[in-house]
Chains A and B, each alone.
Chain A
Amino acid sequence: MTDPRDLVTDVGLLAEGAHDPGSPPAGIRRAPTGVDGLTTEHLVINMGPQHPSTHGVLRLIVEVDGEEIVAAETSLGYLHRGIEKLAETRRYNQLGTLMDRGDYVSGMHGEQAAALAVERLLEVEVPPKARWTRSLVAELTRIASHLIWYGTFGLDTGAMGQFLYAMRDRESILDILEAISGARMMFNYIRPGGVVADLPAGIDGRIRRFCNGFDAYLDEHHALLGGNEIFQARVQGVGEIDADTALAFGLTGANLRASGFGWDVRRERPYDAYPQLDFDVPVGTTGDAWDRYMVRMEEMRQANRMVRQCVDGMPEGDFTAKVPKVIRPPEGEVYASVESSRGETGVHVVSDGSDTPYRYHYRAPSLFACQVLEEILPGHLIADAVMLIGSLDIMLGETDR
């Protein structure tokens, strides 16, 4: 068990500072220079929130010299729904519904984080079947979420073909999750103490059929997009984020691992069934867009492996612990985090002993990924900006909360 803060000091970031204070901060506040020997002017372009490839409502203000970006500023808040404030008026077993709407492409992970936090406050023992079921649905969700990323990443580079192939596979997963939880997107399945319902009869056969097919489909996906030379020329060596920068910006998940720093919450701070599961954590080397692509593709393979293990090793027993209908945890505060599809999704709850949280904080990994855009965009072209947003796999629902 390693605390991430120790890791940060280990590589000397807090001691030396990740950023050279002499270098100007990335941002639009610099005046347009307009002195290139000719009377050229920089153009300030407002990219989003209605731009077709800003993955929802990200707004980027980019200053360009021709097509080359000289400075970029992210502007957030177009999808703010006050999830943290709303949580203060929700009972503890209602938190999952809010988390579903944060990172709405991988809702199970948000629910899992909220449930873990409440369980830690209550100090309740979760039965093994519930833990294994949670890991099962979490890994299925990870594949579904990565498929969305895979499809849209291709769209960002201008390819159309792979998107609907990814949707085909995602559809199978959503059907399985619908059979398990009754919903395709806003599951509200993982609750404090366990899960809301037992796995339906015969679901293991369906999941196995999907797993067996998906390995081959994944190879096809990789060959279709990653095997294309135009795609390789677009992503290889573009948007490099080294490990120091990644840690300084608080990146987690595949974005951090692509830069060669193998931090994975499932391995470093195991929860649910992960201590018993056998999986590899893929890491990249240079942290360019290609590494992020490769890491996510490999993560889908590992997730598929874990889904199989979960189905094979699913223990018997209760699917939930005995938890009161109205949860009133003792006073105190706790932080729990899970490895979501986008990184470390964490929940910090402060309890005052009542039936609602006193303060609720939701650590969204995409927020950190958005910030690093300002750092890596200058020097790239507009076409790269679109591709890099896709390569970081940001989810605006959780960014703005």
Chain B
Amino acid sequence: MSPALVIVLRILAALGLMLANGVVLIYMLRKVLGHLHLRLGPVHVGPKGVFQTTMDVLKLLSKEDVWPSGVDRALFYLAPMVVFVPSLMAYAALAFSETWRITDLATGLLYTFAVLSIVPIGILMAGWASANKWSLLGGMRAAAQQIAYEVPLLLSVLPVVMIVGSLNLGDVVLAQDGMWLGFLPKWFVLPQLPAFVLFAVAGLVELNQTPFDMSEAESELVSGFATEYSAMKFGLLFLSEFSNSFVISALGVTLFFGGWLVPWVSSEAIQPIAPVVFMIKVYIGIFVMMWIRGTFPRVRIDQLMQLGWKWLIPASLGWIMVTGLVMKLWQLGPQVVG
């Protein structure tokens, strides 16, 4: 095959994965929230309502594309794309197994965070362009949140990078192969538990997920930045949100839970089903996010800012220092991988 064709196919595969994820995750969210809330969730379309999301996507595709009067037409049109395209790009560096990757990037982790940080710009654009005060407040919150939480999110993963000595997500997984003391999986969540907690909090903020769903905040800001959007433009905003939760969950699994590795099973034996293992772990992570979403109240915007600046950033800096000191004192230099 020509290299160009391979690239096109890989991008299409990423797009397919993203869209399939969106459909599955929306159904999953409805069912999970439903059962958490003593309801059933969708039941009517298809067996156990499995085709409900498909029908909803068809509905979004066929709906009239509403342009409210007074919107900034160029920005209003661009914003869903600015949100959607980086979400798709973020799949590029994920390592589903040793061989299953869209690209093998040496700076995969940095790249993923870089493209994800474009998303809030789109949200700010959407909020500004909508000519709606609630949307504007939502967009502004997204910007403030982004500035406050991008830093601790990056800092929280630095200790792992320091241990591994590579930004390649595949290398990070391979570094977690093996056992400590013969029975503990060598997952970074054990020595790096504080880093994982910081990552989880900052990741939830980054995702706009409850309890930090500031820019959407349905009970406060109606629907935040998405208030004026309808039809597939809304669909793209929505899809990107679900896709991002997949990406952050995948990063969490890669960095702290051994990626496609299964404890007590050798990495060679797991190779044939590695992508399946990875997907299962990612979905467990997403389930936890949905669980939080179904239970927790929302923090207030000023409390969120205080948490970010006063606690998360100092804590993540402190933990980097601790990790560095321990590595230096016990001579635990970066392991050479691959």
Contact = CB atoms under 8 A, between A and B. Distances in A.
Given A158-B213, A161-B37, A234 B297 contact: yes
B211 A383 contact: no
B300 A381 contact: yes
Contact of B222 (A51, A160, A163): A51
A164 interface: yes
Q: Is the interface of A mostly helix, strand, loop or mixed?
A: helix
A154 interface: yes
Interface stretch (A129-137, A225-233, A272-280): A225-233
A230 B37 contact: no
B71 to A, nearest CB: 18
Contacts of B220: 53, 158, 382-383, 386
B301 A381 contact: yes
Interface in A1-55: 43, 45, 51-53
B69 interface: no
B36 A161 contact: yes
A168 to B, nearest CB: 6
Query: Which of A53, A163, A165, A383 has the most chain B CB atoms inside 10 A of its CB?
Result: A383
A167 B269 CA distance: 50
A155 interface: yes
Contacts of A165: 37-38
B300 A160 contact: no
A164 B301 contact: no
A161 B33 CA distance: 8
B240 interface: no
B36 A386 contact: no
Interface string B126-147: 0000000110110000000000
Contacts of B299: 230, 233-234
Contacts of A155: 219
A159 interface: yes
Interface string B302-334: 110000000000000000000000000000000
Nearest to B36: A161
B270 to A, nearest CB: 37
B137 to A, nearest CB: 7
B137 A230 contact: no
A164 B222 contact: no
B183 interface: no
B208 interface: no
Contacts of A224: 295
Contacts of B134: 45
Interface in B235-293: 293
B301 A158 contact: no
A163 B297 CA distance: 12
B52 interface: no
B217 interface: yes
A158 B215 CA distance: 13
B298 interface: yes
A119 interface: no
B156 to A, nearest CB: 20
A381 B219 CA distance: 13
Contacts of B295: 159-161, 224
B298 A158 contact: yes
A400 interface: no
Interface of B: 33, 36-39, 133-134, 136-137, 210-211, 213, 217-222, 293-303
Which 5 A-B pairs rank lowest in CB-CB distance, beginning with the nearest? Answer: A158-B298, A159-B297, A157-B297, A164-B37, A53-B219
11 contacts: A45-B133, A51-B222, A53-B219, A154-B297, A158-B217, A158-B219, A160-B293, A160-B294, A164-B37, A382-B220, A384-B300
